[in-house]
Amino acid sequence: MQNPIHSWPVDDRPREKLLKFGERQLSNSELLAILLRTGTKGESALDIGRKVIEKFKTFRNMSHTDSRDWKDFRGLGPAKLAQIRAAIEIGRRFREDELRETQPQIKSSRDLAEILMASMRDLKIEVFKVVFLNSQNRIITIEEVAQGTVNRASPFIREIFQKALAHFAVGVVCAHNHPSGDVTPSPEDRQFTRDLSEAGRVLSVKVIDHMIIGDNRYFSFADAGDLRSKG
């Protein structure tokens, strides 16, 4: 039978090790063990953490999963699975929180793709985000404005520009993901981009780009020279 974690030397216990040496000194298995807190009969939380890492390899891979992928782990019920999923989502959102504080300047589609890729590439439904920019193309904020099904999001153009005016934004970049990973624009994507550009022209808010995010790939309407209104 495995010895419970509380019987280990203090410096070997994940929680105590984190407090003494810092979270960067912990392995992925040890970080998971802290989230799980307790194990099950014959297995410590660290044993379970090691098995989870052995199966999924990375935290990113865990974000692709649903409850069926976790059913073989003893001691991992809905509550602990919810804790793991919450921690992964916190990691995703951390990058966008940083951006709100630093207000980086956007000089190319690649700059924005690097910002949005981590939070959008693994989503299982289409999500539509808008990046609001000031006159120096620095990020004011990033907001999610719509969620769709697995193959379509239906953002409201009026809402996008209402938010832009509320943030005193000079420009906007719209972005949505394709859960399939294929970044080829659909006819609906193209029509939406034309309508968006026309609305921006009328309201004097520059539509700088509309991007489609896939799995480590992206499509930029601006780069493709296809960012134009109906007029």
Q: Which long-range contacts (CB under 8 A, 24 or more apart) does 35-42 make?
A: 35/80, 35/83, 35/84, 35/87, 36/75, 36/76, 36/80, 36/83, 36/84, 38/75, 39/2, 39/4, 39/5, 39/75, 40/74, 40/75, 42/1, 42/2
Average pLDDT over all residues of the chain: 86
Q: Is the dihedral of CA 82, 34, 89, 183 positive or negative?
A: negative
Is residue 197 exposed (0-12), middle (13-18) or buried (19+ Cβ within 10 Å)?
Answer: buried
The answer to whether 159 and 190 are in contact (CB under 8 A) is no
Q: What percent of the chain has pLDDT over 70?
A: 89
SS3 state of residue 172? strand
Nearest Cα neighbor of 84 from 111, 45, 117 is 45
* 7-16, 122-131, 170-179: segment of lowest average pLDDT: 7-16
Higher pLDDT, 189 or 65: 189
Type of residue numbered 73: F
- The band of 6, judged by pLDDT with boundaries at 50, 70 and 90, is low
SS3 state of residue 213? strand
Region 204-213: what's the mean pLDDT? 95
Q: What percent of the chain has pLDDT over 90?
A: 39
> Parallel, antiparallel, or unpaired for β 171-177 and 127-133?
antiparallel
Q: Which neighbouring-strand residues pair with 105?
A: 138
pLDDT single digits (tens) 140-186: 999 998 888 666 666 789 999 999 999 999 999 999 999 999 999 99
pLDDT single digits (tens) 41-91: 888 888 889 999 999 888 878 877 878 888 888 888 888 888 888 888 888
- pLDDT above 50 for 226: yes
pLDDT at residue 231, rounded to an integer: 46
Measure the CA angle with vertex 153, ends 149 and 159; round to 5°: 140
**Which of 45-49, 118-122, 198-202 is modeled with the greatest confidence?**
198-202
Distance CA 151, CA 141 (A): 26
- pLDDT above 70 for 218: yes
pTM to 2 decimals?
0.67
pLDDT at residue 11, rounded to an integer: 58
